[in-house]
Amino acid sequence: MDIKNAEFTSIFNVASLQNRAMVDLHWFYLAIAVLIAFVVTGLLVAVIAKFRTPANDDGSEPRQIKGNIRLEIIWTAIPLVIVTVLGVLTAMVMLTVNPAVGNKKPDVIVIGHQWWWEYQYPKLGVVTANELYLPAGKNTLFELRAADVVHSFWVVAFGQKMDCIPGHPTNMWVHPIKPGKYLGSCSEFCGAQHGLMRIIANVVSQEDFDAWVKAQQAAPEHSTDPAALHGKKLFNDATCVQCHRIAGDAEAEAQIGPDLTHIAQRKTLGAGVIVNNTENLTKWMQNPQTYKPGVYMPNMRLTDEDAHDIAIYLESLK
């Protein structure tokens, strides 16, 4: 997986306003819990020290106390106040993290597949796979779907974890606060390669995001290199076009597998399994089961030359 320069994967590496609210609430909860632990432990030690059996105890029964209304009110009121405060703060954070969507249209549609991620930007006309791009400083509405089984989308530094359920879209807001590369994964067991269904979320400036969108909206470059031309013919003549889409290619319009329109711009292959370069893509074309056993892409029994030429063609799609 391309984790070079990626941010450390921790919920405390806050990268969104939503996660900031959640982490702040966590620390407040922890402070209250530690305070209660110290008070209870201190009282327990004090009671043990004060009321332990003296050395000269004569065995008589201690004075019995039948009740203390004031004390009972105090030890009922204090927990009630604490629980009420925590409940109100929790409700406020929940509303902050995931406010009502209303009639708003999603900025990004996330579709979980076995075992890769599809990202659609319906307002921008962009479709890509596995590597997510978001502008910093902007609240982004996600719609989460699943194409097959239940998945769960979780970029750790963003905080929220939301299920992708077949036939039941869910929503999630993310307001990234700082540029960076953040790691995530599917967090709901979804089959053989659940552990290799990874996410790389790239948070960039608005200017860089606009440039990325413009590049994605443009038709991919087509190399005139003989190997690339041969690879394109092989790609269209083989079964590749039965699953994959390449914008501008009338023969490659399927949407079963990842969209390959600008695959050369991506840093990884196979949902973050290996670095995207010609050598690795050639090996993937020869037998993807080597890297991701159980993946739906079959071994096409390509020769070394044919696999290399298809890789050259795909690596030209920038």
The verdict on 247 and 170 lying in the same domain is: no
Pick from 205, 234, 263: which residue ends a domain? 205
Q: Verify that 23 and 137 share a domain, yes or no.
A: yes
Answer whether residue 71 is part of any domain: no
Backbone CA torsion sign across 18, 19, 24, 29: positive
Render pLDDT for 124-160 as a digit per residue (tens, 0 to 9): 999 999 999 999 999 999 999 999 999 999 999 999 9
Q: Does residue 11 share a domain with residue 134? A: yes
- Residues 247 and 186 grouped into a single domain: no
pLDDT confidence bin for 11, thresholds 50/70/90 = confident
Residue 136's region, left for phi above 0, alpha for psi from -120 to 50, else beta, is beta
Domain that holds residue 232: 226-316
**237 and 185 in a common domain:** no
Does 273 share its domain with 128? no
Residue-wise burial string across 77-88, b where 16 or more C-beta atoms lie within 10 A, e elsewhere: eeeeeeeeeeee
Among residues 179, 157, 161, the alpha carbon closest in space to that of 170 is found at 161
Is 221 among the domain residues?
no
pLDDT (tens digit per residue) in 178-203: 999 999 999 999 999 998 999 999 99
Q: Which neighbouring-strand residues pair with 120?
A: 109, 127
C-alpha–C-alpha distance, residues 298 and 275, integer Å: 20
Please count the structural domains in the chain: 2
Instruction: Give the model's confidence band at 8: pLDDT under 50 very low, under 70 low, under 90 confident, else very high.
Output: low
Here the tokens at position 230 are 């041969």
Identify whether 184 is part of a domain: yes
In a domain, 217, yes or no: no
Give me the pLDDT at residue 51, please. 82
Q: 281: domain CATH number?
A: 2.60.40.420
pLDDT digits (tens, 9 = 90+) for 263-275: 989 999 988 888 9
